[in-house]
């Protein structure tokens, strides 16, 4: 039996990268996974789509369902939960992974980008948590995982790097998300819902990160594998009641729990959490 047999997981931003990896790993453990992203079919410039993620899951015997949606739109967020619930039943696990990542100087950041960043990275996570809460409450528990970023940490200077000067908006949204994580953990602990945040130590070299080309060399040196991120996500979404309210980092969490990294299909144990080890 898998660790998630009988569970339903909703994962945002699952057309590629971290979200797709988590979806594949959860499906390998028996979850029925509802996936959402804007990219349903092939993207014009980036590899990965919801259909490709589903095909990979189904090729290994898993079950998946896709809802194409823009998380910046509150009405579409409501439809994500409604359609996922109709397809697979009440949501047991919510993974808020999708993010709008803009790396621009303060004086070149438009009001539109500012609004979208907070809508997708903060408001959507809050909204989706509210929408899945009734079913979690009725079922006596659940798990919410917010995928954060090393950019939430305050930059140290002077001097500051170019990355410090351009990651302000993205980092601010992730810092807000982490504060929501701990607040929801406190609020929902009495009803058995575990809420945690997890981020890579440095970076994860996903298709999106490579396309942006903004990851600093020191972060690349600490890059963690997609497999490690998916394994840490699985650990937090099967966590006991006392593992909640944590703002965690991928590798340190796996080391703390003495949990090995496994391949996304769950069939092999991999050497380690870093991208150059997996």
Quick: pLDDT tens for 87-96. Answer: 999 999 999 9
pLDDT for position 154 = 95
What is the pLDDT confidence band of residue 203, given thresholds at 50, 70 and 90?
confident
What is the pLDDT confidence band of residue 47, given thresholds at 50, 70 and 90?
confident
pLDDT (average), residues 36-59 = 92
| Helix residue ranges, H only, 109-264 | 111-118, 124-139, 162-166, 168-188, 207-212, 217-221, 226-236, 250-257
pLDDT (average), residues 244-271 = 96
Instruction: Name the phi and psi angles at 31, rounded to 5.
Output: -75, 145
The answer to whether the CB of 40 falls within 8 A of the CB of 50 is yes
CA atoms of 55 and 45, how far apart (whole Å)? 20
pLDDT for position 43 = 79
User: How buried is 268 (Cβ within 10 angstroms: 0-12 exposed, 13-18 middle, 19+ buried)?
Assistant: exposed
Instruction: Name the phi and psi angles at 56, rounded to 5.
Output: -65, -40
pLDDT for position 160 = 95
Lowest mean pLDDT among 22-26, 157-161, 206-210, 267-271: 206-210
Reading the block at residue 43, the tokens are 């993207």
Catalytic one among 170, 198, 264, 274?
A: 170
Distances in Å between the Cα of 88 and the Cα atoms of 13, 33, 69, 81 are 19, 8, 18, 11
Domain boundaries, the chain: 8-257
The answer to whether the CB of 220 falls within 8 A of the CB of 202 is yes
The answer to whether the CB of 35 falls within 8 A of the CB of 11 is yes
DSSP 8-state class, residue 40: S
**pTM confidence score:** 0.93
- Does residue 170 carry a catalytic annotation? yes
C-beta atoms surrounding 47 within 10 Å: 13
pLDDT (average), residues 201-217 = 63
CATH fold of 8-257 reads: Rossmann fold (3.40.50)
The pLDDT tens digits for 8-32 are: 999 999 999 999 999 999 999 999 9
The answer to whether the CB of 69 falls within 8 A of the CB of 60 is no
Q: Is the pLDDT of residue 149 over 80?
A: yes
The answer to whether the CB of 81 falls within 8 A of the CB of 34 is no
Q: Which residues of 185-203 are buried (b: 16+ CB within 10 A; e: fewer)?
A: beebeeeebbbbbbbbbbb
More confident residue, 221 or 230: 230
Beta bridge partners of 274: 224
Q: Is the pLDDT of residue 208 over 60?
A: no
Q: Is the pLDDT of residue 273 over 80?
A: no
């Amino acid at each position: 039996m898998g660790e998630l047999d009988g569970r339903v997981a909703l994962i945002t931003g699952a057309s590629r990268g971290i979200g797709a990896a988590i979806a594949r790993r959860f499906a390998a453990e028996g979850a029925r996974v509802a996936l959402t992203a804007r990219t349903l079919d092939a993207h014009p410039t980036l590899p990965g789509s919801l259909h490709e993620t589903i095909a990979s899951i189904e090729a290994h015997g898993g079950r998946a369902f896709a809802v194409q949606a823009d998380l910046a739109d509150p009405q579409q967020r409501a439809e994500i939960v409604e359609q996922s619930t109709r397809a697979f039943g009440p949501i047991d696990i919510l993974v808020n992974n999708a993010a709008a990542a803009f790396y621009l100087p303060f004086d070149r950041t438009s009001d539109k980008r500012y609004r979208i960043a907070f809508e997708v990275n903060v408001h959507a996570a809050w909204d989706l948590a509210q929408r899945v809460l009734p079913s979690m409450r009725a079922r006596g528990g659940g798990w919410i995982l917010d995928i954060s970023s090393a950019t939430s940490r305050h930059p140290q200077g002077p001097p500051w790097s170019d990355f410090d000067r351009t990651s302000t908006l993205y980092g601010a949204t992730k810092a807000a998300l982490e504060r929501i994580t701990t607040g929801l953990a406190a609020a929902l602990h009495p009803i058995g819902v575990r809420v945690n945040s997890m981020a890579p130590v440095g970076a994860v070299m996903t298709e999106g990160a490579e396309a942006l080309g903004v990851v600093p060399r020191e972060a690349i040196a600490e890059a963690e594998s997609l497999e490690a991120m998916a394994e840490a996500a699985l650990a937090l979404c099967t966590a006991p009641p006392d593992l909640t309210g944590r703002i965690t980092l991928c590798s340190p969490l796996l080391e703390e729990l003495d949990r090995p990294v496994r391949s996304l299909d769950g069939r092999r144990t991999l050497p380690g959490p870093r991208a150059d080890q997996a």
